[in-house]
Amino acid sequence: MSSENTKNMKTILFARVSSREQEDTGYSLPSQEKLLGDYAQKKGFEVARKFAIAESACGKNQRKTFNEMLSYVKKNNIKVIVCEKVDRLTRNLKDAVFVNEWINGNTEREVHFVKEGCVLNKDSKSNEKFIWNIKISVAQYYIDNLSEEVKKGQAEKIRQGWLPTKPPLGYKTVGEKGHKIHIVDKEKAGLIKKMFTQYSGGGYSIKKLGQTIYEEGLRTRGNNKLAKSRVGELLSDPFYYGKIRWNNKIYEGKQEPLVSKELFDNVQQVLKSKTTPKYRKHFYLFKGSIKCKECGGKITWEKQKGITYGHCNHYRDCSQRVWVKEPELETQISKKFENLRIKNQRIADWIRRELKKSHKDEINYHSSTLNELKQRHEQIQKRLDRLYDDKLDERIDKDFYDRKFQQYSEEKDVITGSMEKHSNTGNKHFELGINIFDLAQRAKEIFQKANLEEKRQLIGLISDNLSLDGSRLSFTYSKPFEVLFEAVKFTNSSKIAKLAKTQKQIFEPSVFPVNINKNRVLHPEFAELLRG
């Protein structure tokens, strides 16, 4: 094409940088664009647009940019594409086909490769097209080989127990290139743990949880709010309990877990549950928890002039016509919570003290079992280490390694789960008894200071069968609190209170305990509470 014909001909510039090393050695996008721009000016081309693919672009975005470029030249009848070299324009045979189709569609269309001093068009000689095809094949080989090496490096990284990419929120990467590991990010780890704990209770929707943790300070690495989908991904990531998920397979990780396997599994059950709460714009304290005493229908809640009212929906020809204010029901339920409190502080302190003494044998059992499991865990880890060394020294083949690695890993997971269970349940009954007792003693105080969600959880924990008869709220205590209520009612009776004042030792236990191997919550260690 003569210089007269090329004058003012529109062209596009296409630049690509494939690695950070290329940028560092002077092959940056601005350098390429300047080279291509100077070439276009020398040839008398009018630059209509520039397209560039940065080294940080993923394969999907690179493909998108390439397709945008082809669409643009077709739509705007661009006749010339200018790029640095063949492998800057395309690196696979599929894209090369599109370029060939574009060139062969019009004799005026050309691709100029500046550094190679080559111009490709429909009338190019056969040897020029042959060289073009060879260079495309070489570029394809380079990409395939690079992909193969990357996958090998990723597989090796995973076998060493580390994720070959950025870790999820709650962790950060440290170390030099080739020796990077993941450690806990102390600024975010606490909020991640809280996110799992809150969601495991079943009182949060994904959307509401995302809003809650955002208000408490959890942000993305770009300092933005977590999207709803991202919150769900984090809650499903086994990385948080010490595993690595890669290509839909689970591997053993060396990172410090942020949550236990038990908590993670609880969260997965809530995620899959059909009863997981949905996000609601209007969220009332007693919504869905109180029925009408007369007809059994759910109480409806609505806000009028800033005040929340509850009333029967009358779907079953109910005669109830009373609208009750939410604060009035709060007052009633606070009084019910007060009925769980032991008024005599000396008796309350004695019960708490005896609960703490009551599970020594059980604690010893869990401790000894835990030690045995730890020894077994160390043996399995040594086998895994020897297995890996044998693979590196080529004493075993890949199939044998993969089979034994999976076997030992599964056995290690079982042992790890048992260790967590014994660690968590060694004091579980003891802690549950103490927690129920302490909660009962402070239920009213906690309820009055709690936020809306905490109040709903407390009501659900302590009460069952809430019903509304006119403006009067009634309910039964849940099973553990019903047992405690009966004991508290007896302890708070006027007769016992009088005895407690006159006989300070009346509540001391008998000398000899019974059934020292018991483990039921709030089950007494002594046959009789009162002497005589």
Express each pLDDT in 138-162 by its tens digit.
877 877 887 788 888 888 888 888 9
Query: Which of 47-51, 275-279, 321-325, 496-500 has the highest average model confidence (pLDDT)?
Result: 47-51
What pLDDT does residue 18 have? Answer: 65
The structure tokens listed for 332 are 């009633």
- Check whether 193 has a pLDDT greater than 80: yes
What pLDDT does residue 21 have? Answer: 45
Q: What is the arithmetic mean of pLDDT over 476-486?
A: 75
What pLDDT does residue 435 have? Answer: 65
What pLDDT does residue 526 have? Answer: 44
Q: Is 226 in contact with 218 (CB distance < 8 Å)?
A: yes
Q: How far apart are CA 77 and CA 11, in angstroms?
A: 10
DSSP 36: H
Q: What is the arithmetic mean of pLDDT over 53-72?
A: 76
**Chain segment 486-512, per-residue pLDDT in tens:** 777 777 665 555 555 555 444 444 444
What pLDDT does residue 425 have? Answer: 56
The structure tokens listed for 116 are 């190679």
Alpha carbon distances (Å) from 508 to 143, 496, 512, 528, 531:
81, 14, 12, 10, 8
- Check whether 453 has a pLDDT greater than 60: yes
Q: How far apart are CA 310 and CA 324, in angstroms?
A: 5
What pLDDT does residue 359 have? Answer: 56
What pLDDT does residue 505 have? Answer: 47
Alpha carbon distances (Å) from 234 to 100, 167, 220, 268, 271:
45, 11, 12, 11, 12
The DSSP H or E segment spanning 330 is helix 326-338
Q: Which pLDDT band, with edges at 50, 70 and 90, does 525 fall under?
A: very low
Q: What is the arithmetic mean of pLDDT over 326-330?
A: 85
Q: Which is more confident, 185 or 415?
A: 185
Q: What is the arithmetic mean of pLDDT over 39-51?
A: 90
Q: What is the arithmetic mean of pLDDT over 308-334?
A: 81
- Check whether 196 has a pLDDT greater than 90: yes
Q: What is the arithmetic mean of pLDDT over 170-193?
A: 89
Return the exposure string of 469-488: e unless at least 16 CB atoms fall within 10 Å of the residue's CB, then b. eeeebebebeebbeebbebb
What pLDDT does residue 371 have? Answer: 80
What pLDDT does residue 493 have? Answer: 65
Does the pTM exceed 0.95?
A: no
For the chain, the average pLDDT equals 78
Nearest to residue 184, comparing CAs of 266, 249, 254? 254
β-bridge pairing 290-292 and 249-252: unpaired
**Chain segment 217-273, per-residue pLDDT in tens:** 888 888 889 998 999 999 999 999 999 999 888 888 889 999 988 889 989 988 887
- Check whether 114 has a pLDDT greater than 60: yes
State percent of the chain over pLDDT 70. 78
What pLDDT does residue 521 have? Answer: 46
Q: Which is more confident, 23 or 450?
A: 450
Query: Which of 36-50, 426-440, 467-481, 516-530 has the highest average model confidence (pLDDT)?
Result: 36-50
What pLDDT does residue 178 have? Answer: 75
Q: What is the arithmetic mean of pLDDT over 458-473?
A: 81
The structure tokens listed for 206 are 């994904």
- Check whether 532 has a pLDDT greater than 50: no
How many other CB atoms sit within 10 Å of the CB of residue 404?
16
How many other CB atoms sit within 10 Å of the CB of residue 313?
13
HEC profile of 70-96: HHHHHHCCCCEEEECCHHHHCCCHHHH
Q: Which is more confident, 167 or 28?
A: 167
Q: Which pLDDT band, with edges at 50, 70 and 90, does 276 fall under?
A: low
